[in-house]
């Protein structure tokens, strides 16, 4: 049975935890506000890039660009796939990092199984942003690039452009057949969803899904568009803008989700600590009352024995 001192120590310990989680909650609240503001500032840029890509889908046959060509594999060949996994650099964010790991793991395993049924091998590599998930995926035995490191701490356009350049290099120079982005969408303060989208070659289904999230409306109707000086030169320029926008948009989404998840986790932890302190305080009061009662009983019994002498 716990003594009075044991209960006092537990109360002091829980108070320390509540102070720590409360401070972290305040920090996360500030970062959450900044991340939401950042999302709002880039909203128009991402929407315009997505709408432009949707506009050109009807001219796809006229485009001579590797980003619009999906090669087909036959049995005996290999799919070379790169995954860029966006997740947090720290823990204490609830199930945020776990959900990203689960989605990435499921997609990789599904691709390996699907290709093996067709007699095609799968060569993949994971480029992970956050060190927490990177270490976990390495421990689980996945093929992770240990040299790739980009923390999602208030992402900037320059960081996104650098990542997009690496992504482009993987596809064009290192001959990856597919390049995917794994990130979390902030649908609301209480609802976050992990998405896996294909960036290269361009997947218009993924574009439509992202457009639906941003609320850009239905897909544009087929129209005749004139490109100057020619369609390939225009699309070569647009691809850079599209990749930059998609990477920047997903990085800011992932960062906002991480801060929102951490704020919620710290809020729940603080509330739980406060509830525990109330329970322990009640337990302490009862133990102290029992101790006082025992002491009074001993005094009365002692006085009675003296009177009986």
pLDDT tens string, the chain, 309 residues long: the values are 567 777 778 888 888 888 888 888 888 888 888 888 888 888 888 888 887 777 776 655 566 778 887 888 888 889 999 999 998 877 778 888 889 999 999 999 999 999 999 999 999 999 998 888 888 888 889 999 988 888 777 888 898 899 999 999 889 888 899 999 999 888 777 788 899 999 888 888 888 778 777 766 555 555 566 777 777 777 777 888 889 988 998 899 888 888 888 888 888 888 888 888 888 888 888 878 877 787 777 777 777 776 766
CATH superfamily to which 28-265 belongs? ATP synthase, F1 complex, gamma subunit (3.40.1380.10)
Cα distance between residue 267 and residue 29, in whole Å: 10
243: its two tokens: 């990749």
Cα distance between residue 155 and residue 254, in whole Å: 10
Give start and end residues of each alpha helix (H) in the chain.
4-55, 96-117, 131-139, 157-172, 204-214, 231-308
Cα distances (Å, whole numbers) of residue 104 to 122, 148, 242, 266: 15, 17, 23, 26
3: its two tokens: 């003594």
What does the domain layout of the chain look like in residue ranges?
4-22+272-304, 28-265
Locus of tokens 């199930």? 95
Cα distance between residue 153 and residue 37, in whole Å: 14
Whole-prediction pTM: 0.82
How many residues are given for the chain? 309
Instruction: Read off φ and ψ for residue 229, nearest 5 degrees.
Output: -75, -30
Cβ neighbour number for residue 228 with a 10 Å cutoff? 7
Task: Collapse the DSSP code of 265 into the 3-class scheme (helix H, G, I; strand E, B; otherwise coil) and give the result.
Answer: helix
Cα distance between residue 137 and residue 126, in whole Å: 9
CA-based max dimension of the chain = 119
235: its two tokens: 């699309």
308 contact partners, CB below 8 Å, separation of at least 6: none
Strands 78-85 and 121-128: parallel
Strands 191-200 and 121-128: unpaired
Q: End-to-end CA distance of the chain: give it in Å, rounded.
A: 37
Cα distance between residue 15 and residue 18, in whole Å: 5
């Amino acid at each position: 049975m716990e003594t009075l001192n044991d209960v006092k120590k537990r109360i002091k310990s829980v108070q320390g935890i509540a102070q720590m989680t409360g401070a972290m909650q305040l920090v996360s609240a500030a970062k959450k506000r900044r991340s939401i503001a950042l999302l709002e500032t880039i909203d128009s840029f991402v929407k315009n890039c997505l709408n432009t890509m949707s506009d050109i889908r009807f001219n796809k046959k006229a485009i001579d660009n590797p980003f619009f060509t999906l090669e087909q594999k036959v049995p005996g060949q290999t799919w070379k796939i790169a995954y860029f996994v966006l997740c947090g650099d720290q823990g204490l964010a609830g199930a945020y990092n776990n959900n990203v790991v689960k989605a990435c793991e499921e997609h990789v395993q599904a691709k390996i199984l699907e290709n093996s049924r067709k007699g095609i091998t799968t060569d993949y590599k994971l480029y992970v942003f956050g060190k927490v998930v990177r270490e976990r995926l390495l421990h689980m035995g996945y093929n992770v690039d240990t040299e790739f490191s980009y923390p999602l701490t208030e992402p900037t356009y320059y960081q996104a452009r650098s990542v997009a350049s690496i992504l482009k290099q993987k596809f064009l120079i290192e001959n990856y057949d597919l390049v995917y982005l794994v990130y979390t969408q902030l649908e609301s303060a209480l609802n976050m969803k992990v998405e896996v989208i294909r960036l290269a070659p361009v997947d218009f289904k993924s574009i439509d899904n992202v457009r639906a999230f941003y609320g850009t409306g239905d897909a544009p109707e087929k129209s005749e568009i004139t490109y100057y000086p020619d369609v390939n030169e225009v699309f070569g320029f647009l691809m850079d803008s599209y990749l930059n926008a998609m990477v920047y948009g997903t990085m800011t989404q992932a960062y906002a989700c991480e801060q929102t998840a951490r704020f919620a986790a710290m809020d729940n932890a603080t509330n739980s600590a406060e509830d525990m302190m109330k329970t322990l305080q009640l337990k302490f009061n009862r133990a102290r009352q029992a101790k006082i009662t025992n002491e009074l009983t001993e005094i009365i019994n002692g006085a009675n024995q003296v009177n009986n002498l």
